[in-house]
Amino acid sequence: MFAGRLGWGGRFGGRAVVEDAGTVHTGPTTQVGGLYPFLLGTGLPPHGVPVGRDVLTGELVCIDPSGWTGRLTTNPGVWVMSQPGAGKSALVKRICLVYVAYGHLMCVPADVKGEYSTLVRELGGSVVRIGDGLGRINPLDSGPLKTRLSSLPGTERSALLDVLTGRRLETLGALLSTRNGLGRAPNEIERSALNTAVQLAADAVPGADPIIPDVIAVLRQAPEPLRAKLAAAGNAYLALTRSVIAGLDNLCDGPLKGMFDGPTSVPLDLDAPAVSVDISALRARGNDVVSAGMIATWAYTYSSIDSARSIGLMNRKLVLPMDEMWRALRSGPGLVDAMDSISRLNRTTDDVAVYVTHSLLDPESLPTEEDRAKARGLMDRCDTWVIGASTEEELQRVTGKRALTEQERMMISSWSSATSTGLDTSDQVHPGRGKYLIKLGNRPGVAAAMSLTATERRLYHTDRNTLEHEAAGR
């Protein structure tokens, strides 16, 4: 049993000034196994990323999704959830930091708060900034592939070109689905028109990548292959393509202007120890712009890595933090597909994708059953779950997915914050900060408390109060 934050009720109950550290007894499993109420799950192997001490036994707890795959788990996906401010991002940053030391490439496909930039820079990595005059990303970018394509043998080249066109279409479809594009997924005729137009636009610029205005120009010119594909000409052609042209136009004008309508300004440096795409500048333009930004940058990152791998330019494993995933999920259908394609990256390789969210309700907020099923698929593809401070209702939902014991539920809810946001007030930090239950499949969970080093505190801090003070100071 675990006392709540105010201690046990009743006579002689309440908060204790001195916390009894408890006594640790150890014994052989044959004997201790008989003491049922005191049975604990076996600890985790001391390899990988040190998280902290086990809150019950004091032993070192490590998390190693990459090393566990094939032994303790079947995939390296990690699902991290807790109330805001409980330290999810701090844990993810520690995971990244240690994996970079092991030779993984840390790759933050969309850093919504700009909170990973300091860490990435100090690791000697490169930060690409997008938005408001800072930089652009071309959603049709093929990454390093374009320079190699012409030197590949014919069959290999056409196979890669097909993959590339498919990926470009996926990205365009996802961007068009956002409120800043068409506001809906393109229909089958529009997809077919886009397919041909993207190919024609790409053929017109050999050795380079087409940009969205090129695709618009092709659709407007209505060349013969396009008319033949749609079996329409004149007014009939205009009627079929009007909406999709308007949708693409919206991506180049309006709130997204200057972000995705030209060549990529700074390509991702895949030889660096760490890379991130900082889209924090988009936040001033509202949620819809942020979600379109996330789609474009995720797709771009995925495309760059996949194409670098396909031509043997990159063979390092990745650690991919997908922080603020709830934003992505709330924004509509496009991102689930983009995330899904990123998660496909780690099916064959040992890439560690870390999904960070607040609640299991986030995937449920998607509009269609198909999208919700895809989002649930992402969750199920994560064998490792890390659950921080959460409310009792949230834990009920988790129990539907992962069997949590009553003890585990009580422990996690004892870490939770009284306010629903979990955010700090001026004199109080989140009571469950740095405490996580690590659950592999349905094994008994291991609860660990993480403390940060002085350097980590500087690199990871996101507290609004402190940040505002610093900003005021500057």
Ligand X SMILES: Nc1ncnc2c1ncn2[C@@H]1O[C@H](COP(=O)(O)OP(=O)(O)OP(=O)(O)O)[C@@H](O)[C@H]1O
Residue nearest to Mg ion (CB): 89
The mark string for 39-78 relative to ligand X (x by CB under 6 A, - otherwise) is ----------------------------------------
Beta carbons of 260 and 270 less than 8 angstroms apart: no
What's the min distance (Å) between Cβ of 113 and Mg ion? 7
What's the min distance (Å) between Cβ of 396 and ligand X? 21
- Does 461 engage in binding with ligand X (CB under 6 A)? yes
- Does 94 engage in binding with ligand X (CB under 6 A)? no
What's the min distance (Å) between Cβ of 389 and ligand X? 9
**Smaller CB distance to ligand X: residue 319 or 450?**
450
What's the min distance (Å) between Cβ of 345 and Mg ion? 22
- Does 448 engage in binding with ligand X (CB under 6 A)? no
- Does 294 engage in binding with ligand X (CB under 6 A)? no
Beta carbons of 65 and 76 less than 8 angstroms apart: yes
**Smaller CB distance to ligand X: residue 85 or 293?**
85
Distance, in Å, from the CA atom of 144 to the CA atom of 271, rounded to the nearest integer, reads 12
Q: Which does 84 bind (CB under 5 to 8 A by kind): Mg ion, ligand X, none?
A: ligand X
Minimal CA–CA distance to 250: which of 265, 239, 261? Answer: 261
Beta carbons of 291 and 110 less than 8 angstroms apart: no
Q: Spell out the residues 6+ positions from residue 272 whose beta carbon is closer than 8 angstroms to its own.
A: 105, 124, 125, 126
Stretch binding ligand X (CB under 6 A), from 9-17, 219-227, 403-411, 459-467 = 459-467
Count of residues interacting with ligand X (CB under 6 A):
18
Among 67, 76, 85, 332, binds ligand X (CB under 6 A): 85
Distance, in Å, from the CA atom of 71 to the CA atom of 67, rounded to the nearest integer, reads 8
- Does 118 engage in binding with ligand X (CB under 6 A)? no
Q: Are strands 435-440 and 446-449 parallel, antiparallel or unpaired?
A: antiparallel
Distance, in Å, from the CA atom of 464 to the CA atom of 286, rounded to the nearest integer, reads 19
Cα–Cα distance list, 5 to 33, 290, 432 (Å): 30, 37, 10
- Does 391 engage in binding with ligand X (CB under 6 A)? no
**Smaller CB distance to ligand X: residue 59 or 362?**
362
Tokens of 78: 């990690």
Tokens of 409: 């539920």
Q: Which does 90 bind (CB under 5 to 8 A by kind): ligand X, Mg ion, none?
A: ligand X
Among 69, 73, 75, 89, binds ligand X (CB under 6 A): 89
What's the min distance (Å) between Cβ of 116 and Mg ion? 10
Q: Annotate 35-87 with DSSP letters as a single string.
A: -GGG--PPPPPS-SEEEEEETTT--EEEE-HHHHBTTTBS---EEEE-STTSS
Residues lying near ligand X in the complex (CB under 6 A) = 82, 84-90, 433-434, 450-452, 457, 460-463
